[in-house]
Amino acid sequence: MIAYLRGRILSKASNAIIVDCNGVGYELAISITTFTELGAEGAEVKLHVHTHVREDALALFGFAELTEKRLFEKLLTISGIGPKLAITVLSGISAERLVGAIRAGDHATLTKIPGIGKKTAERVVLELKDKLDDMVGSTPETGARFSLGTVADDVLSALVNLGYARPVAQKAVETAAKDAAVAGDFEQLFRAAMSAVR
């Protein structure tokens, strides 16, 4: 089982990376969170790895932080959540906010993540709420919400509903909202954020 890789970035995309380890290229699926922490192609990278074995495939999932890997593995224990959905969940919300939402039983935050419906959110809270004592954040982060104002929150929600990962959408909205002329108008802010996210 591969648990850790160190090598050079051969190529990368927002959802995958190829790491060259002494002439052998390993392809790993990654979250947006890990993608944002990676250097440029050719840079050295260290990744914690989850090896997922099925009868017909062997897939590697890479994480810049050990906490994110452990949270990914906890998500896999829940019925109905496979590795692809688990990596999507971690792309849609930071590990700290996810832990905070689960501990607080915050179904509303969980259902904003693409691929997580009401029933899955309930299962996640029910099955993981008491199993996260060793994870990041000592208190539920119910107050640590994105807070540039109601209009910005609505634009962020719209981008996430369109399928953009929450961290990417949030950066785009923050960038667009720096322009005071558009910050208070949903349509203008939405257009500016769409331009920033591309």
**CA dist 82 to 36, 88, 100, 167, Å?**
23, 10, 22, 21
The reply to whether 73 and 124 lie within a common domain is yes
Phi, psi of 163 (to 5 degrees): 105, 0
Residue 78: give its domain's CATH number. 1.10.150.20
Q: Tell whether the model's pLDDT for residue 163 goes beyond 80.
A: no
> What is the pLDDT averaged over residues 97-123?
88
Note whether residue 43 is domain-resident: yes
| Residue 141 within any structural domain of the chain | no
Question: Residue 49 forms beta bridges with which residues?
Answer: 62
What's the pLDDT tens digit per position in 42-82? 999 999 999 998 888 899 999 999 889 999 999 999 988 99
Q: Name the residue among 146, 165, 65 with its Cα closest to residue 101.
A: 146
- The whole-chain average pLDDT of the chain stands at 85
Predicted confidence band at 141 (pLDDT cuts at 50, 70, 90)? very low
Structural domain containing residue 28: 4-63
pLDDT of residue 138: 39
Tell me if 36 is assigned to some domain: yes
Domain limit, last residue, from 13, 40, 63: 63
Residue 162 has pLDDT above 90, yes or no: no
- Indicate if 83 and 27 belong to the same structural domain: no
Q: Could you give the number of structural domains in the chain?
A: 3
Could you tell me if residue 37 is inside a domain? yes
The reply to whether 52 falls in a domain is yes
Integer Cα distance of 32 and 196 in angstroms = 16
> For the CA atoms of 154, 159, 162, 163, what is the dihedral angle to 10 degrees?
-130
Report whether pLDDT(1) > 80: no
Is the pTM value of this prediction over 0.85?
Answer: no
